[in-house]
C-alpha cells in the first residue's frame, strides 16, 4: 500500500497538482496511511513522528501550499524512506542469529534441562546441533517446544572399509579423520532419511541443514597428510588440479558433491523440511593462498574449495554456503586492526557469498583465555561488537542469511572451560549477550 500512495503523491507533483499532493501527504502522515496498524512494527512510531515533523517544519517555514514541486519531491522521498525504515529494522530483528553447542548427548538428562533453561533465559532463538542418539532427539524436541530453531548438522557416513588417519600426538588439533574420498553417499542419505523422518514426525521444521564440517581443514579431513612441522601451503584452485596432494583432496571434494546430491534428494521428499536451506558444510577460514611456515599440514582456501566444487555441480544442490571464521583478536578498539579484520572478512571468508547463494556463518568467535570469575569481557566484547557491525552490509545485500556464535559453553566431558565459551561462571557473559543481540545488526 505504501508504494501505491507514494506513486499517487509523485504523480500529482509531476502534473502540477500540488494541492492534491499536499492533501495526500497530510492524510498519510496524520494516520490514514495504513491506519493504526502502521504503528505496530518496531520503530514505526518513531519514523511516523519524524516524517510528520518534516511536514510540520516545512509548512511552518514556507507554507505547505507554496512549497515548490522540487521541495515537495524531496519531502515525499524523505518521508517514504523514513516510513520504510521500521520494516527493515524488524526484518533484522528476526534475522537468524544463535549459538553453537557442544555435543548435547554428553549431558545427563538433568544437565540437558538446565542447558535449555539457560538458553531460554538468554533469549536464544537458534542453536546448532546434530543427532547422535535418542537423547539428541529429545533435546531437539524440547528446544523446539521452547521456540528455538535448529541449524542441523548432517553427519557424513563413510564406507565400512574406510580407515581413519592416525592420531598424531604432536598435532592435537589434527583429529583422527576419514578421508573425504571414502564418504558413502548412499549410506549418508539412508542415515539422514531416518533422522529427518523422525524430526518430521515430531513436527520440527529446521532452520538449515549443514552437510559435514570443514572439509577444507586438515583437522577434520583425513585426505590431508600430517607431517613434521615445516613449509606447507594454504592451497588455491590450481593446487587442487596440479599438486599431487591437492589432487587427492580434490578427489574427496568430488565425492562430497555426490553426498550433497544424495542428501538433497532426501530433503526434497521431506514433509516439513523440503524447503529448509541446504548448506555446504561450514568451510574453515584459513585466510589467503600462501605458504604456511612451521605447519603440520596443508589447507585449502574457502574460495578455492567453493570454486572447485562448483565445477562439479555444487550450486545445483545447495542453497547456500556455511562459513566458519575466527578473526585475529589483536588491537581491540584500534582502527588499524579493525580495518584489517574487516578486509579479511571480505577477501577470504565471505568473498564467494552472493544473493543467489548466500552464506551462513555457522561458527565465529573470539577466545578469552582469562578464565577467572567473574569473567573479564572488556576486550572480547569490543571485538564482538565490532564484528557484528562488520556483518551488517552483507546482511543488507542479502549475502548473509544466518549467524551462529561459537560456543555456548565447554564440552560436558571437559574439566576446563573452553576459551571460546560465552556462558561462564553460571551466567551469560557480556560478549555472549552482544553476539546474540540482533539490534547490533541494524
Q: What is the pLDDT of residues 302-358, one digit of tens each?
A: 999 999 999 999 999 999 999 999 999 999 999 999 999 999 999 999 999 999 999
Q: Return the DSSP state at 289.
A: S
Cell of 121: 533465559
Q: Return the DSSP state at 6.
A: H
Asked if pLDDT for residue 359 goes beyond 90, the answer is yes
Mean pLDDT of the chain: 86
In the prediction, which pLDDT does 21 show? 54
Report residue 93's pLDDT band, with 50, 70 and 90 as the boundaries. Answer: confident
Q: For residues 325 and 417, state if they share a domain.
A: yes
Asked if pLDDT for residue 55 goes beyond 90, the answer is no
Helix axes 69-93, 2-14, angle to 10 degrees: 170
Residue 105 CB-density burial (10 A; 0-12 exposed, 13-18 middle, 19+ buried): middle
Q: For residues 131 and 186, state if they share a domain.
A: yes
Residue 166's contacts (CB-CB under 8 Å, 6 or more residues apart) are 176
In the prediction, which pLDDT does 9 show? 53
Q: Which residues on neighbouring strands pair with residue 404, listed in sequence order?
A: 98
Query: How many independent structural domains does the chain possess?
Result: 2
Q: For residues 200 and 69, state if they share a domain.
A: no
Q: For residues 11 and 98, state if they share a domain.
A: no
Q: For residues 252 and 129, state if they share a domain.
A: yes
Q: 182-213 b/e with 16+ CB inside 10 Å = b? A: bbbbebbbebbbebbeebbeeebebbbbbbbb
Q: Return the DSSP state at 370.
A: -
Last residue of a domain, one of 53, 74, 91: 91
Q: For residues 64 and 115, state if they share a domain.
A: no
Q: For residues 100 and 82, state if they share a domain.
A: no
Q: What is the mean pLDDT of residues 355-375?
A: 97
Contact of 52 with 30, CB cutoff 8 Å? yes
Q: For residues 204 and 218, state if they share a domain.
A: yes
Last residue of a domain, one of 91, 109, 124: 91
Q: Are strands 423-424 and 278-284 parallel, antiparallel or unpaired?
A: unpaired
Q: For residues 246 and 337, state if they share a domain.
A: yes
Higher pLDDT, 207 or 61: 207
Structural domain boundaries, residue 70: 2-91
Cell of 148: 528455538
Q: For residues 132 and 202, state if they share a domain.
A: yes
Q: Match 552490509 to its residue by C-alpha cell.
A: 393
Q: For residues 169 and 280, state if they share a domain.
A: yes
Whole-number Å distance between alpha carbons of 422 and 430: 8
Last residue of a domain, one of 57, 91, 125: 91
Residue 235's contacts (CB-CB under 8 Å, 6 or more residues apart) are 243, 246, 249, 289, 298, 299, 300, 301, 304
What pTM does this model have? 0.82
Amino acid at each position: 500500500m505504501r508504494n501505491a500512495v507514494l506513486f499517487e503523491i509523485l504523480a500529482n507533483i509531476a502534473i502540477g497538482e500540488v494541492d492534491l499532493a499536499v492533501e495526500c501527504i497530510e492524510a498519510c502522515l496524520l494516520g490514514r496511511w495504513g491506519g493504526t496498524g502502521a504503528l505496530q512494527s518496531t520503530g514505526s512510531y518513531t519514523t511516523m513522528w519524524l516524517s510528520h515533523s518534516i511536514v510540520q517544519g516545512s509548512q511552518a517555514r514556507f507554507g505547505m501550499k507554496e512549497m515548490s514541486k522540487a521541495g515537495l519531491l524531496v519531502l515525499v522521498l524523505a518521508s517514504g524512506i523514513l516510513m520504510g525504515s521500521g520494516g527493515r529494522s524488524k526484518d533484522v530483528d528476526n534475522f537468524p542469529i544463535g549459538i553453537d553447542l557442544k555435543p548435547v548427548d554428553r549431558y545427563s538428562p538433568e544437565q540437558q534441562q538446565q542447558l535449555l533453561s539457560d538458553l531460554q533465559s538468554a533469549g536464544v532463538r537458534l542453536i546448532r546441533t546434530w543427532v547422535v542418539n535418542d537423547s539428541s532427539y529429545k533435546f531437539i524436541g524440547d528446544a523446539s517446544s521452547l521456540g528455538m530453531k535448529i541449524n542441523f548438522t548432517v553427519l557424513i557416513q563413510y564406507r565400512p572399509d574406510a580407515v581413519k588417519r592416525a592420531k598424531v600426538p604432536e598435532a592435537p588439533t589434527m583429529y583422527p579423520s576419514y578421508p573425504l574420498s571414502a564418504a558413502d553417499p548412499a549410506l549418508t542419505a539412508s542415515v539422514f532419511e531416518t533422522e529427518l523422518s523422525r524430526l518430521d514426525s515430531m513436527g520440527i521444521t529446521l532452520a538449515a541443514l549443514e552437510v559435514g564440517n570443514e572439509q577444507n581443514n586438515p583437522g577434520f579431513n583425513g585426505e590431508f597428510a600430517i607431517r613434521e612441522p615445516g613449509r606447507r601451503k594454504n592451497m588455491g584452485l590450481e593446487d587442487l588440479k596440479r599438486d599431487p596432494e591437492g589432487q587427492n583432496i580434490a578427489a574427496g571434494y568430488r565425492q562430497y558433491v555426490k553426498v550433497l546430491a544424495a542428501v538433497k534428494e532426501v530433503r526434497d521428499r521431506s514433509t516439513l523440511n523440503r524447503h529448509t536451506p541446504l548448506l555446504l558444510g561450514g568451510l574453515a577460514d584459513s585466510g589467503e593462498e600462501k605458504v604456511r611456515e612451521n605447519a603440520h599440514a596443508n589447507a585449502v582456501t574457502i574460495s578455492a574449495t567453493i570454486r572447485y566444487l562448483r565445477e562439479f555441480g555444487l550450486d545445483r544442490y545447495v542453497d547456500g554456503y556455511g562459513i566458519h571464521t575466527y578473526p585475529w583478536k589483536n588491537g581491540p578498539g584500534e582502527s588499524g586492526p579493525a580495518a584489517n579484520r574487516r578486509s579479511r572478512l571480505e577477501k577470504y571468508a565471505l568473498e564467494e557469498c552472493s544473493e543467489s547463494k548466500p552464506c551462513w556463518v555457522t561458527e565465529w568467535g573470539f577466545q578469552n583465555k582469562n578464565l577467572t570469575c567473574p569473567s573479564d569481557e572488556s576486550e572480547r566484547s569490543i571485538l564482538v561488537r565490532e564484528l557484528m557491525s562488520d556483518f551488517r552490509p552483507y546482511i543488507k545485500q542479502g549475502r548473509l542469511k544466518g549467524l551462529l556464535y561459537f560456543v555456548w559453553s565447554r564440552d560436558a566431558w571437559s574439566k576446563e572451560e573452553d576459551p571460546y565459551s560465552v556462558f561462564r561462571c553460571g551466567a551469560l557473559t557480556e560478549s555472549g549477550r552482544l553476539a546474540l543481540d540482533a539490534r547490533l545488526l541494524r
